[in-house]
Structure 1
Amino acid sequence: MLRVARTALPRARFSRTLGVRYVSSTSPRPTGRRIAFASGGAALGLATLLSSTMYADSATAVSLPATSKSNRADEGSRSSLGTLVRTYVVYTMCSIPALVDGAPWLLDTFTSIPGIRWITEAIVRITFFDQFVGGDSAVQSLPLLKSLRAENTGTLFAYSVEVDEAEAMAASASGSSQKSPHKAIIDEMVHCIDVAADFEDGLIAKQSGRRTWVAVKITALLPDASALIRLSSHILSTRPPTSPPQVAFPGNPTFSDLDVLYTPGAPKGNLSEADLAMLRELYADLEVICTRAQARGVRIIVDAEYSWYQPALDALTLALMRRFNALESRSGIHTQPLVYATFQAYLRRTHAHLVHALRDAQKHKYALGVKLVRGAYHTHETAAHPATASGKGKTLSISPDALPPVWVVKADTDANYDACAALLLDEVAADVAGPSGRPQSVGLLFGTHNWASCRKIMEGLAARGLATPTVEGKLRVAERVGERVTFGQLYGMCDDLTQYLANQTEAGAPMVIKYVPYGALSDVMPYLSRRAIENKSVLGGGAAQAERDRAGKLILQRLFG
């Protein structure tokens, strides 16, 4: 049942707040040589931190939920002194705006100089790589998965390698027997699913939920991602008009969006035969990935990307959800949705889009998997849209709307995120109130570093009777609710929030997961260097400085008690 989101959330007893006082610190003026080596090393870490689409929101400037002295002591004792020092150094560099802006160029430059490359890579590995990346491979990341699970935290695996389109297109055109780069990525994703499943299978059966999931970035799974832009443009030009009120760009997906791929005689617009073949192969590969995930019990989380890709990504994800999340093919209260779509709260459409998605899932009898994030590409979206609106300059934006697709003011994004979260919690409450044994019709992953949003969600769980405050100030989450609700943060960032959520909830499965990218250092650096500037908002609002100051305080506690 679809309900109207509440506008006010009563506070539970665990929501006492305390102010946060940050300790300022200064560092010596770096020499030119130090800047050179530090810059080369900083580039990968900045890019790693900034390359995810999950959690672009401020981690500071709000009151924090109270934590007990024992929880704060545990937080400091879990990390070695070396790890804390590394965190302090890494986030000190991340606090330098010029370094953030120059990260891709610096990384490209230093890794192209003979003799300097290996020094740069060595520095990167012991600092930023170890801070933000799980390992060189899925298997090598297993020790991290084990340590996270020991702290009641799950994992969202992300293979962070992208396709070199020139190389991929050349391999496809040559007809060589050598596997093209995008096919190698698909094979690795299937392998990643097996590693995740084997890890879960090896755990002692104390928990009801499987909390090792896999992220899928669709633009990395085909040799020419621009085919997705052309498909998006075609979808917008051929999609039947929706009933009022109109939903802002990128609109709502329909099941007919992919007719151009499979219906003989359907208008092709600007799509070439090569595009159509590539897109059919992409969907077939996505089915292979989801089929393996279904067989092994691993959730698939489809990442969101730029708005000019989104109509195509929405269409592909809808088709996957209708097939793999179908209610008649699932039974039992422990069966979560297999495929999760990402909803970006900074898009103007998102609340209306969520309402539509929930109704579509009810109508067509499939479970809706939702990863709710704020969004990571705000600067690019706002910069691209005016060029389209004025008709001047070259841009990738395909929005026909007068307004940009994203909220201009961050406060509007924050309000939209919280409203969407309330709507989704209402849906969980209705789902849990249904007959016992019925497959769940919604699964939620709240991807955020924002303490205020996390507090509101926890209060919302208690207010709706989905969780019960304990005398210790924690939340006891019912098993049927724990199967439906999860929080998530990036690995290497906001560990205090992650630990708070893990410590303050009692559930049959971890209520929080870490987004853990992995990949060989030489493979992930080109991808990360190109993505560094895209997501600067992750470090906005003083987030990097807050992480640095937190590490500094823990170092002082460790040294002086």
Structure 2
Amino acid sequence: MRLSFNNTETAFAYKSNKELQASRFLFGTMNYPWFSALGVRVTPFLMKTGLPVHGIIRKTIFKQFVGGETLEQTADVARRLGEYGVQVILDYGVEAKEGEENFDHARDEFIRVINYAATQPNIPYISVKITGIARFELLKIMNSAPRLRSGIHDHEEEGAEWERVRERMYDICEVAAEKNVGVLIDAEESWIQDPIDRLSVEMMEIFNREKCIVYNTIQLYRHDRLNFLRMYHSIAKQRGFILGVKIVRGAYMEKERTRAQLMGYPSPIQQDKSFTDGDYNTAVEYCIDNINDIATIIATHNEYSNLRAAELLDEKGIPHNHKHIHFSQLYGMSDNITFNLAKAGYSVSKYLPFGPIRDVIPYLMRRAQENSSINGQTSREVILTRTELRRRAKAAKAAKHAAKAKPAV
């Protein structure tokens, strides 16, 4: 393979020197875990006090990881990415507020985003959080009730509430199917994940008959998820629908381990990272081996996993832009992976959230924590941006020297 993730000229072609310098500075500060930890604790408090910190956040972490505060602002970022063959997974990044009225509003916002995405050439997917349209405590109840897999509930009120959640999700998927926009259902904590998995199967069975519209997210840092993927596939074959999965490593590891320890049950998390990596790469192979039955979004910043997936496509003679294979990374991270995949003809996107600064603070805090906790992630970003800035400086110097050496006419 000629694919390489070390080509910084391709990776950062869409960024100016000023933008690259800002990215290098931000990732440099994130490289200090104590600094990120302090920021994660203090920033939400400062936002609530009304102190003038919006400008600082907007120019730093918000600009790095978020498309904009509105769809219109985000459209400029999406168009810019599209110029380099990069697609977009659009995420209405506002965290859920409790209450039926707020859940209905979130449904309407997701539908608005779908309608917008359908008008854009490079926005094939949107992301949906079930916690945006359902009460967290309801999901906990549904997750723990032993016979709720049948959809039957002992309490009429909670049964009716769950039916409203189902109707909201149906409304979202129905519009998405009409507009040919994929819906990616986010994964959540293990203690609310089961009803989300069951709801996703319901929606796939309805909308994934001819093409894949609905995707569920599988977190491979859980030791049971590889078997779950195989079971999921078996159900899809039995019921005659295309299985849609977004495979990720995961986002709630520390929270999962802490809760398991406090409540005295076995942790659902893998023994260590090597087990997560092994299951993730096995899941990629399984999905590609079953490419006719499974539509897969390979969502990872791990360079080996992306390279291995690309190699498998070549080994099996599968086109780089096959409709059932898509790569994705978060906006603001791993441009060396995204843009080099795009240049090589692979179907790849940036996960692009948008929303008011105050509302997307929880998302931004997770990005700060993630970059601090992933071993080597921020260091890699700093090295890549520094390498590209040096390359540009050297190229500019060479061009200037060549211009001086050119004989006058």
Same fold (TM over 0.5): yes
Is 2:335 aligned against 1:495? yes
The letter of the residue matching 2:151 is L
Is 2:370 aligned against 1:536? yes
Distance 1:196 1:445, change over 3 A: same
Is 2:224 aligned against 1:349? yes
Alignment of 1:259-298 (within 5 A): 259-260=152-153, 268=154, 272-298=155-181
SS of residue matched to 2:375: helix
Shift of 1:378: 1.0
Alignment of 1:92-491 (within 5 A): 92-114=28-50, 117-118=51-52, 120-165=53-98, 168=99, 180-200=101-121, 211-222=123-134, 224-234=135-145, 237-238=146-147, 256-260=149-153, 268=154, 272-326=155-209, 330=210, 336-389=211-264, 403-428=266-291, 431=292, 441-467=293-319, 477=320, 482-491=322-331
Shift of 1:278: 2.1
Find the aligned partners of 1:72 and 1:552 in 2 and give their Cα distance. 10
Shift of 1:273: 4.0
Residues 263-285 of structure 1: CA deviation (Å, up to 9, x unaligned)? xxxxx2xxx54432322111101
Shift of 1:78: 2.7
Find the aligned partners of 2:126 and 2:12 in 1 and give their Cα distance. 29
SS of residue matched to 2:90: strand
Find the aligned partners of 2:286 and 2:89 in 1 and give their Cα distance. 24
Q: How many residues align?
A: 395
The letter of the residue matching 1:124 is I
Structure 1 runs of 4+ aligned residues shifted over 4 Å read: 529-533
Distance 1:90 1:484, change over 3 A: same
| Identical pairs, percent | 25
Residues 377-425 of structure 1: CA deviation (Å, up to 9, x unaligned)? 1111111112222xxxxxxxxxxxx632110200000000011111111
Report the TM-score when normalising by structure 1. Answer: 0.67
1:192–1:214 contact (8 Å) kept in structure 2: yes
Shift of 1:537: 6.6
SS of residue matched to 1:83: helix
Please, which runs of 5 or more residues in structure 1 have no aligned partner? 1-12, 16-64, 173-179, 201-209, 240-255, 261-267, 331-335, 390-401, 432-440, 468-476
Find the aligned partners of 2:372 and 2:249 in 1 and give their Cα distance. 10
Find the aligned partners of 1:538 and 1:193 in 2 and give their Cα distance. 33
Which of 5, 12, 19 aligns to 1:83? It is 19
Residue in 2 that maps onto 1:519: 355
Distance 1:446 1:532, change over 3 A: closer
Shift of 1:127: 1.4
Q: Which has the higher helix share?
A: 2
Residues 235-283 of structure 1: CA deviation (Å, up to 9, x unaligned)? xx226xxxxxxxxxxxxxxxx43233xxxxxxx2xxx544323221111
Distance 1:384 1:138, change over 3 A: same
1:76–1:558 contact (8 Å) kept in structure 2: no
2:5–2:337 contact (8 Å) kept in structure 1: no
1:100–1:532 contact (8 Å) kept in structure 2: no
SS of residue matched to 1:404: coil
Find the aligned partners of 1:66 and 1:102 in 2 and give their Cα distance. 32
